[in-house]
């Protein structure tokens, strides 16, 4: 087990570095961008890399680097809001279902099973298409369907925790169900929720970019990565770099959050295995 800790630690650090760099660049986008990313200059369209435009310009003469940095704000910001909603709904449903059991558990889990029977992205596409294109519709559509996997995972963890001695003792002492869930169940699943949040961020960034590429997400002139891909696809054979740069940004963000989530999960596994009386 020891020889594997080096690669696992490297994976976690790589994920943290990528996520940290993306978050920092998004926060500092207005100061890092070389000029106004929304400034249109038809005469400077499709300009190559230069001191003024490190990654060149797009079909409207806008600075590509500036739009990538600003796009990080849109993509990461929408994904963060959607993830917060997904975790709130998923944790609430999973917590109630796992702790209550019986009929409540059956009803909630049948709902989850019904939603899982249809491809998640297809349902999200249907919701966003019904509500109409836009960031609000995109966030609602993704959050409204993406919570089901989180609910199933949380429900399984809660079913295990509710049988622990300290939970049974709190129940015997007359603690209310709400207090038991808040003080004894929820703290026990918080570490795994951090893992789930990181993995959900990666998946949602990919989904957001895909729906924006289809024209259902951020609308022009917003510099969201998926919208940038949509704008650039017409010029793919003329200026492939306009597709390459936002594509690499999406790939890097998804990889960063996936590596971070995997690293956190491995750390939790090692902590669990290190508990007295446990062997692998």
**In the chain, where are the structural domains located?**
77-273
Q: Do 162 and 99 meet the contact criterion of CB atoms below 8 Å apart?
A: yes
Q: Can you give the pLDDT of all 280 residues of the chain as single tens digits?
A: 444 555 667 888 888 999 999 999 999 988 888 777 888 888 888 888 888 888 988 988 899 999 999 999 999 999 999 999 999 999 999 999 998 888 999 999 999 999 988 888 888 888 888 888 889 999 999 999 999 999 999 999 998 888 788 888 888 888 887 888 888 888 888 889 999 999 999 999 999 999 999 888 888 788 899 999 999 998 999 899 999 999 999 999 999 999 999 888 887 776 654 444 443 3
Start-end of H helices in the chain: 5-27, 29-32, 64-100, 102-116, 120-131, 135-161, 165-172, 177-180, 186-213, 225-232, 241-273
d(CA 190, CA 55): 41
Query: Is 1.10.3720.10 the CATH number for 77-273?
Result: yes
> What is the three-class DSSP state of 135?
helix
Entry pTM: 0.88
Residue 194 vs residues 30, 110, 260, 262: alpha-carbon distances, Å: 29, 26, 10, 11
């Amino acid at each position: 087990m020891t020889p594997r800790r080096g690669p696992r630690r490297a994976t976690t650090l790589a994920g943290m570095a990528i996520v940290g760099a993306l978050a920092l660049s998004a926060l500092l986008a207005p100061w890092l961008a070389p000029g106004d990313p929304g400034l249109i200059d038809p005469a400077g369209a499709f300009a190559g890399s230069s001191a003024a435009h490190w990654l060149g310009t797009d079909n409207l003469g806008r600075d590509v680097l500036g739009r990538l940095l600003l796009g990080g704000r849109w993509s990461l910001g929408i994904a963060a809001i959607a993830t917060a909603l997904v975790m709130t709904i998923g944790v609430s449903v999973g917590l109630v279902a796992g702790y209550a059991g019986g009929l409540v558990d059956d009803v909630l889990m049948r709902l989850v099973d019904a939603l899982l029977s249809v491809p998640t992205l297809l349902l999200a596409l249907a919701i966003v298409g019904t509500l109409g294109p836009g960031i609000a519709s995109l966030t609602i559509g993704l959050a409204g369907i993406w919570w089901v996997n989180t609910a199933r995972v949380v429900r399984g963890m809660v079913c295990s925790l509710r049988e622990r001695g300290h939970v049974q003792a709190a129940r015997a002492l007359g603690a209310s169900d709400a207090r038991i869930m808040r003080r004894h169940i929820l703290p026990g699943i918080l570490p795994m929720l951090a893992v789930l949040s990181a993995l959900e961020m990666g998946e949602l960034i990919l989904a957001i970019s895909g729906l924006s590429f289809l024209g259902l997400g951020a609308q022009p002139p917003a510099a969201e990565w998926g919208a940038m891909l949509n704008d650039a696809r017409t010029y793919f054979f003329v200026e492939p770099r306009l597709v390459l740069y936002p594509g690499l940004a999406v790939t890097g963000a998804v990889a960063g959050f996936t590596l971070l989530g995997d690293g956190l999960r491995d750390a939790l596994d090692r902590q669990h295995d290190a508990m007295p009386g446990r062997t692998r």
